[in-house]
Structure 1
Amino acid sequence: MITDARVLQPEFIPREVQHRDAEVNYLSSVLNPITEGHRADPALLHGPSGAGKTCIAQYLVEQLREAVVDLNYQYVNCWEDHSRFKTLYRLLDGINQTVDIHRQSTPKDVLLERLRDTNDTPYVAILDEVDQLEDKSLLYDLYRIPHLTMILIANNEDGLFTAIDDRLRSRLTDCERIHFHSYHESELLAILQDRVQWGLRDDVIGTNEIEFIAANAGGDARVAIGILRRAARTTRNSQADTITPDSIRKAIPEAKSEIRQQTVDRLTAHQQILYDIITEHGEIQPQRLYNTYADRTDDPKTKRMVRNYLSKLEHYNLITAEGNTKDRIYRVQQ
């Protein structure tokens, strides 16, 4: 039934992309100087999760690597590699410069100098979840490396720019911004049809069933692909011949729960504390939330940083926030 399991994974980069022509053309034009040996201006891809930001960035870099003989590239998920050291280590790993680096003893400045002093081969760095960087000044340092081009990805540009200082803001304010909207059902239908064609045996699933999946994905391609993957696995394990509406109905909550758990597993220590407090209380006001959070950690972040953390939890549908600043109530998303 499943002919290519890779196609059913959210991180799979398709051979062609659907319903993102404007975004592809825009980012392609921004990156075009690289084909002539020059650094491109930074680009910021922003919009809701599951809207294709990461997929488009990686797709276009792959296209660039086919067009440019010499091109270094690295993808960094700043939610996972959120410290200055980890991000620089990942970037150096992209050019095989980490052999003698020790995580406990090598100074962070050494990593930056090594990255700066590498040859002039164009280097494209995709910094996903860039608003999760603990030290945003790293973006300023990376901006000053002549041969390095940054593609920044975030859910909300405000969440990024409100957390940086004036020096960095002046550099990034004019970066090319590309907004991604949530997919419409018809767009998700086309994406799913491609995945079915590439990853499943013929006649395994009908158009009505694919439309059913698209209608229940909430505009999120990750959810849509997750539902398809879950339904296909259930059908295969039951030794049935086709994916039925019943198997899809069962797969919908399972896929959403899987994505939710993956998101929870990626939370930083401080985000996890905040999430746990909200979960324990059911609903809680900002001041009480902050006070409880501060009591549970030896190194509490500022209220401004905590608001950024909470905004991130909202973007990934882990919590909801109702009311204005004074009367706001945080609740766990059901």
Structure 2
Amino acid sequence: MITDARVLQQEFIPREVQHRDAEVNYLSSILEPVTDREPTEPTLLYGPSGAGKTCISQYIVEQLRGSVVELNTQYVNCWEDYTRFKTLYQLLDGIGQTYDIHRQSTPRDLLLDRLRDYDGPPYVVILDEVDQLQDKELLYDLHRIPKLTLILIANREEDLFDPLGTRLQSRLQNSNRIHFGQYGHKELVAILRDRARWGLQPDVIESVELGHIAEHSVGDARVAIGILRKAARNAKKNGDNQIRSDVISEVVSEAKLEIERNTISRLKPDQRVLYTIISESEEIKPPTLYEQYEHRVDDPKTERTVRNYLAKLEHYNLIVADGNTKARTYRTRS
């Protein structure tokens, strides 16, 4: 039943993209100077989870690689590589400059100096989950490197810009911006149809079943692809030659739980503490939450940073915020 399991993974970069023509064309035009070996201003892609930001950025960069004779590219997930050292290490790795770098003994300034000295082809860098960077000043340093073109990805503009200092805000305020809205039902069906066409045997799933998956996904392509993958595996295990609605219904909770567990595993230590406190409570108000958080960590972040962390947990459907600012409470979704 499954002919290419890679296609059913969230990380798969498709050969063509559905229902993002405006975003694709705009980002392509922004990056056009790179084909003439000229860098461009940073570009921020923002919008809800599962709206195609990462997929589209990687798709465009792959297209760019095919049209430029010499081009270096690198993708960095700042949720995983959120420290200054880890991010710079990944950027140097993209140009083959990590051969003598050691985490314990290499001076931190050496990494940035080496990146500043880069004199190769244009270098296009995708910084995903960029609002998770521990040291936002790194963006200022990267912005000043002539041959570096930055594509920044976040859920909301304010998650990135609000914590920045005046100097960095002024630098990035004029960056290009592309907003990604949530996928609609028809758009998700089209995405799923392509994934089925590329990764499954012909005619194993009908349009009605694709529609059922889209209904369960609530605009999130990650969830939709996860449900399709789980349904295909279960159908194969059951010896079925088609993916039917009853199989889809059986795997919805499991697929969503898998995404939730994967997201939780990537949380920063402080975010994990906040999530744990909320999980232990039926519901909790911000003052109580922050008080408990302060007692559980050695170096508590500011209330503003904690609010940003909570917004991140909410964006990724790990928690629910009820009420307005003064009467807000937090609870987990499960």
TM-score interval, smaller chain: over 0.9
Any idea what SS the aligned residue of 1:283 has?
A: coil
How far apart in 2 are the matches of 1:198 and 1:120? 36
Give the drift of 1:324. 2.2
Q: Which residue of 2 aligns with 1:290?
A: 290
How far apart in 2 are the matches of 1:312 and 1:105? 33
Give the drift of 1:325. 2.1
How far apart in 2 are the matches of 1:214 and 1:325? 33
Q: Which residue of 1 aligns with 2:155?
A: 155
TM-score normalised to structure 1 length: 0.99
Q: Which residue of 1 aligns with 2:127?
A: 127
Partner AA of 2:180 in structure 1: F
Give the drift of 1:167. 0.5
Any idea what SS the aligned residue of 1:216 has?
A: helix
Unaligned 5+ runs, structure 2: none
Partner AA of 2:165 in structure 1: D
How far apart in 1 are the matches of 2:108 and 2:143? 17
How far apart in 1 are the matches of 2:152 and 2:84? 16
TM-score normalised to structure 2 length: 0.99
Q: How well do the aligned residues superpose, as a CA RMSD in angstroms?
A: 0.7
Give the drift of 1:328. 1.2
Partner AA of 2:94 in structure 1: G
Give the drift of 1:323. 1.9
Give the drift of 1:327. 1.5
- Which stretch has the larger CA shift, 62-71 or 323-332? 323-332
Give the drift of 1:40. 1.1
**Alpha-carbon deviations, 1:112-132, whole Å to 9, x = none?**
000111214100010000000
Q: Which residue of 2 aligns with 1:257?
A: 257
Q: Which residue of 1 aligns with 2:167?
A: 167
Unaligned 5+ runs, structure 1: none
Q: Which residue of 2 aligns with 1:270?
A: 270
**Alpha-carbon deviations, 1:287-309, whole Å to 9, x = none?**
11111101011111111111110
Counterparts in 2 of 1:106-145, with a 5 A limit? Answer: 106-145=106-145
Pairing 1:95–2:95 present: yes
How far apart in 2 are the matches of 1:328 and 1:203? 48
How far apart in 2 are the matches of 1:184 and 1:170? 35
Q: Which residue of 2 aligns with 1:211?
A: 211
Counterparts in 2 of 1:1-334, with a 5 A limit? Answer: 1-334=1-334
Give the drift of 1:326. 2.1
Partner AA of 1:195 in structure 2: R
Any idea what SS the aligned residue of 2:151 has?
A: strand
**Aligned length, in residue pairs:** 334
**Alpha-carbon deviations, 1:244-279, whole Å to 9, x = none?**
111000111111111111100100000000000011
**Alpha-carbon deviations, 1:62-87, whole Å to 9, x = none?**
01101111111000000000000000
Partner AA of 1:16 in structure 2: E
Q: Which runs of 4+ in 1 moved over 3 A?
A: none
How far apart in 1 are the matches of 2:44 and 2:195? 27
Give the drift of 1:38. 0.3
**Alpha-carbon deviations, 1:141-184, whole Å to 9, x = none?**
00000000000000011111001111110011110110000100
How far apart in 1 are the matches of 2:274 and 2:304? 14
